[in-house]
Amino acid sequence: MARYLGPKVKLSRRVGVPIADLPKHTSKRALTPPGPHGLRGKRAKPYGIRKDEKQKLRYHYNVLERQFRKYMEAAGRTKGNTGEVLLQLLERRLDNVVRRAGFCRSIWAARQLVAHGSIRVNGAKVDRPSFQVKVGDVITVKEKLHKTCREQMESLQGHQVPGWVEVNPAELRAKVLAMPTSDQIPFDVNTNLIVEFYR
């Protein structure tokens, strides 16, 4: 399957916000727009504002355009606020749950961990990063990688695990307690603009 393999910090520079909670993405240089003078005086048009908001979310969850569009269509078919449902679908991706649990430092590392078959859901191997977890699902890491994951967790000082996930660091075990809500997502994005972009 196709995926973005280019420099990740360029994505943060492009949208003007850190798409990953890593020092190289949160530095001043990473948040300066590209160009010799940081594109001073550039006036964003309504289309550009909505597109940038959509790109922020896409980059944060490491999802390509076609897949993101499918999530958008699924959210539109589901009862409730389309923006809220879209965030829930993206948050419940297995690679994202692994990241939120703190087993990895970034979404790219979490995707690799899942794709290499190192993650178990309710005891069964799952190697699809887009797998949708449900309430009550238990996520564990293959024993062979416990040392690596513990090192990753130690390097993530101050990492906040969201309330909808319960983590047992000793066993490297995470349990989905509830459906995620928009206030539990540590990434600021205006979903209304994204919904308008696709209308």
- Give me 134's structure tokens: 């449900």
Edge-to-edge strand list for the sheet holding 165-168:
124-125, 119-121, 138-141, 173-176, 165-168
- What average pLDDT score do residues 182-189 get? 83
Task: Identify the pLDDT of residue 11.
Answer: 84
Task: Identify the pLDDT of residue 114.
Answer: 93
The yes-or-no verdict on residue 35 having pLDDT over 80 is no
What's the start-to-end Cα distance of the chain, in Å? 27
Identify whether the C-beta of residue 114 lies closer than 8 Å to the C-beta of residue 126. yes
List, for residues 97-156, the tens digit of each pLDDT value: 999 988 888 899 899 999 999 999 999 999 999 999 999 999 999 988 888 888 888 877
- What average pLDDT score do residues 153-182 get? 86
- Greater confidence, 24 or 163? 163
Task: Identify the pLDDT of residue 38.
Answer: 60
Task: Identify the pLDDT of residue 160.
Answer: 83
Residues 7, 17: Cα–Cα separation, whole Å: 15
What domains, with CATH codes, occur in the chain? Answer: 9-90 (1.10.1050.10), 94-178 (3.10.290.10)
CA atoms within 13 A on the CB side of 64: 8
Task: Identify the pLDDT of residue 97.
Answer: 93
pTM (predicted TM-score): 0.88
- Greater confidence, 157 or 196? 196
- Give me 27's structure tokens: 């530095």
